[in-house]
Amino acid sequence: MGVPDLLVADEFGKFGMVELKYTTGNTVGLRPHQVAWLTKHSNTSSWILVKQSKKSVDTLFVFKACDALALKTGGLKSVNPVYFCKSPFDWEKVFSTIC
């Protein structure tokens, strides 16, 4: 069992873990061990970042780790993201959300 794709730290030394996903529809391809890891560590600063490309419009969604199971079973429409934006992405707001 691995850990999420990214380890990020802010200027105060606070760490966050981020699982990266890409989709062209509603489905988020989280694997069972990823759902298990994110659920087990949902009390930490762990996140799921999903980029959706649909009809030449890219949208970025940020979800809490505790949303992993709902995302796996119901997709993007099953859970409200903590933050989302259309391209061009506001990376400062994304990073301030996860750190």
Average pLDDT rounded to a whole number, residues 67-87: 96
Domain that holds residue 81: 6-98
**What is residue 63's predicted lDDT score, i.e. its pLDDT?**
97
CA distance 27 to 75: 5
Q: Does 1 have pLDDT greater than 70?
A: no
- The model's pLDDT over 31-41, given as tens digits with 9 standing for 90+, comes to 999 999 999 99
- Asked if residue 15 is part of any domain, the answer here is yes
Q: Note the helical H segments in 4-67.
A: 32-40
Instruction: Give percent of the chain with pLDDT exceeding 70.
Output: 99
- Domains in the chain: how many in total? 1
User: Average pLDDT of the chain?
Assistant: 93
Tokens 């949902």 identify what position? 42
- Asked if residue 33 is part of any domain, the answer here is yes
